[in-house]
């Protein structure tokens, strides 16, 4: 199979990345970190350093936040149609530079090139076009107060101010865009921090923002570590809101650290999402759906279907089908032709996932398939797609987010009514996503109401859609991204009364 990209494009990206560290974007200019420090960027398919980036710190974040503050009034006052035009122009530029972005994303994160192209590049363009539409449609309401007299009362939605956007490494480009797009549509300015494992495509985003014509300071990009650059954003008094996607542990740390000026905080955190298959389900769809629900992006997906609950009548058939998929799945470098699952993002993540598999086995689970680092890929962070059976509540592998291609398969029986199935599905601290497979619409909709999850996918999911709210119940987060709720999360609501 031929590579779906031009080899010359890859060579050019590699030589550009080798030419020097990527820089911070502050106030419309690319600059090194104030400290001069940089950090290495590792290719997860080889374990080798192939690029570096400026290691932003407190001083850089402060300059970025000040630039965003200076730019804020002008941007908030920019006619919404002009904000929309710029967002649409950025979407076009992202598509035009799609190959470069997807190649860089695949090198940096390890994901298959086609995933980087569709979920990353096209997903980002979709986010921008969707949110460009909101720029001209954010409105308040008129209200009739009950106080005596004659009134004109209405609400105004105003941009919340300077936004700190902190994104993880699992879908770096689209997550960055999914944060800046609604923020910019609402009239906010941004300090964006990509994850230290995957800083590269955010820097390309910065270049394209300038090319699109966004004025200086509207979006500032500070690459760097979570505990330095990230923490500096979260406790900066000039940042009005933090929008964070990442682990629940860091989400809690952000809540604690953001109290200085009582920042608005939205959090999209971890999950341990149930995938529930009934005996009457169309297994020709449910089996591949469940398999790719956990093996897609090597399980490094907050909404990954990591707990499988299958009716006992079809349990063996379903688990065998998923195991077969696990055995045949093509695991390899993201840029190798035909790769279906790339490496994990880092050595740390590989160690973490392998230690969970070991802990599951130690607690009595059976490793039905996989469970090993791939021996012929010693240089990269490759792991076999893994299915654990004999797992029960209380085991760490069942309760905690692994963030790897590790499925815990469990069964339910004839005697379990929907309340019992829901109780099992709801039995973790998370509540991000869920999936139901059945041909019985009543079963599906009754169970849907019983699940404590921000997303329910019945007989298949539509992926992440910019129009569909994304977020979690319980410890999977605060607030929603995407949809009307997603853009309104970047606004303050003002009530205005006029005594007539």
Binding of ligand ADP by 166 (CB under 6 A): yes
Annotated active-site residue 268? The verdict is yes
Q: Which stretch binds ligand ADP (CB under 6 A): 205-213, 225-233, 336-344, 430-438?
A: 225-233
Catalytic residue among 99, 105, 196, 268: 268
Closest CA to 397 of 493, 299, 328, 484: 299
3-state secondary structure of 248: helix
Rounded to an integer, what distance in angstroms lies between the CA atom of residue 453 and that of residue 306? 14
Q: How far is the CB of 235 from ligand ADP (least distance, A)?
A: 9
x/- contact string, 274-303, with ligand ADP (CB under 6 A)? ------------------------------
Of 51, 234, 294, 425, the residue at the interface with ligand ADP (CB under 6 A) is 234
Contact 285, 460 (CB under 8 A): yes
Q: Which stretch binds ligand ADP (CB under 6 A): 30-38, 105-113, 161-169, 446-454?
A: 161-169
Annotated active-site residue 188? The verdict is no
Q: How far is the CB of 295 from ligand ADP (least distance, A)?
A: 18
3-state secondary structure of 466: coil
Binding of ligand ADP by 227 (CB under 6 A): yes
18's tokens: 């080798």
CB neighbour class for 260 (10 Å; exposed up to 12, middle 13-18, buried from 19): exposed
Subset of residues 101 to 160 that bind ligand ADP, contact rule: CB under 6 A: none
* Element spanning 419, H or E: helix 418-425
Closest CA to 126 of 166, 208, 182, 51: 182
Subset of residues 169 to 198 that bind ligand ADP, contact rule: CB under 6 A: 193, 195-196
Around Cβ 46, how many Cβ atoms within 10 Å? 16
Rounded to an integer, what distance in angstroms lies between the CA atom of residue 38 and that of residue 29? 17
Q: How far is the CB of 224 from ligand ADP (least distance, A)?
A: 8
Transcribe 41-78 into DSSP letters.
Answer: EEETTTTEEEEEEE---HHHHHHHHHHHHHHHHHHHHS
Binding of ligand ADP by 168 (CB under 6 A): yes
Catalytic residue among 196, 302, 401, 488: 302
Q: How far is the CB of 356 from ligand ADP (least distance, A)?
A: 13
Binding of ligand ADP by 247 (CB under 6 A): yes
Packing angle of the helix pair 200-212, 98-109 (nearest 10 deg): 160
Catalytically active residues, by annotation: 268, 302
Which positions lie near ligand ADP, rule CB under 6 A? 166-168, 193, 195-196, 225-227, 230-231, 234, 246-247, 250, 253-254
């Amino acid at each position: 199979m031929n590579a779906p990209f031009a080899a010359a494009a890859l060579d050019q990206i590699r030589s550009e990345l080798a030419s020097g560290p990527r820089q911070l974007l502050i106030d419309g200019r690319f600059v090194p970190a104030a400290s001069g420090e940089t950090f290495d960027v590792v290719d997860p398919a080889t374990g080798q350093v192939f690029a570096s980036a400026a290691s932003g710190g407190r001083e850089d974040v402060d300059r970025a936040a000040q630039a965003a503050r200076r730019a804020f009034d002008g941007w908030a006052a920019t006619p919404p149609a002009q904000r929309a035009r710029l967002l649409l122009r950025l979407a076009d530029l992202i598509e035009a530079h799609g190959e470069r972005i997807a190649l860089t994303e695949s090198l940096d994160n390890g994901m298959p090139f086609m995933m980087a192209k569709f979920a990353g590049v096209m997903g980002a363009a979709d986010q921008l076009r969707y949110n460009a539409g909101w720029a001209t449609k954010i409105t308040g309401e008129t209200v009739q107060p009950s106080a005596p007299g004659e009134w004109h009362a209405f609400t105004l939605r105003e941009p919340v101010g300077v936004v700190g956007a902190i994104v993880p490494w699992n879908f770096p480009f689209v997550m960055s865009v999914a944060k800046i797009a609604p923020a910019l549509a609402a009239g906010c300015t941004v300090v964006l921090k990509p994850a230290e494992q995957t800083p590269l495509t955010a820097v390309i985003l910065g270049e394209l923002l300038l090319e699109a014509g966004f004025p200086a300071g509207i979006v500032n990009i500070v690459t760097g570590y979570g505990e330095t650059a990230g923490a500096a954003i979260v406790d900066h008094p000039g940042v009005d809101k933090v929008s964070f996607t990442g682990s629940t542990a860091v989400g809690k740390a952000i809540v604690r650290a953001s109290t200085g000026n009582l920042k608005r905080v939205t959090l999209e955190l971890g999950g341990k999402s149930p995938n529930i298959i009934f005996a009457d389900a169309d297994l020709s769809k449910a089996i591949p759906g469940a398999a790719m629900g956990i093996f897609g992006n090597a399980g490094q997906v907050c909404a990954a279907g990591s707990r499988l609950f299958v009716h006992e009548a079809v349990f063996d058939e379903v688990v065998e089908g998923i195991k077969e998929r696990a055995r045949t799945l093509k695991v390899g470098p993201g840029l190798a032709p035909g790769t279906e699952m790339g490496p994990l993002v880092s050595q740390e993540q590989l160690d973490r996932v392998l230690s969970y598999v070991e802990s599951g086995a130690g607690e009595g689970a059976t490793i039905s398939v996989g469970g090993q680092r791939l021996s012929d890929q010693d240089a990269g962070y490759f792991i076999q797609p893994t299915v654990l059976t004999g797992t029960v509540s209380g085991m760490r592998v069942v309760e905690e987010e692994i963030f790897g291609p590790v499925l815990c398969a469990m069964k339910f029986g004839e005697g379990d009514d929907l309340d019992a199935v829901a109780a099992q599905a709801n039995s973790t601290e998370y509540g991000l996503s869920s999936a139901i497979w059945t041909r019985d619409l009543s079963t599906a909709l009754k169970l849907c109401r019983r699940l404590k999850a921000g997303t329910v996918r019945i007989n298949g999911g539509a992926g992440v859609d910019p129009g569909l709210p994304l977020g979690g119940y319980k410890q999977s987060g605060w607030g929603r991204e995407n949809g009307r709720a997603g853009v309104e999360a970047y606004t303050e609501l003002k009530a205005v009364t006029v005594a007539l």
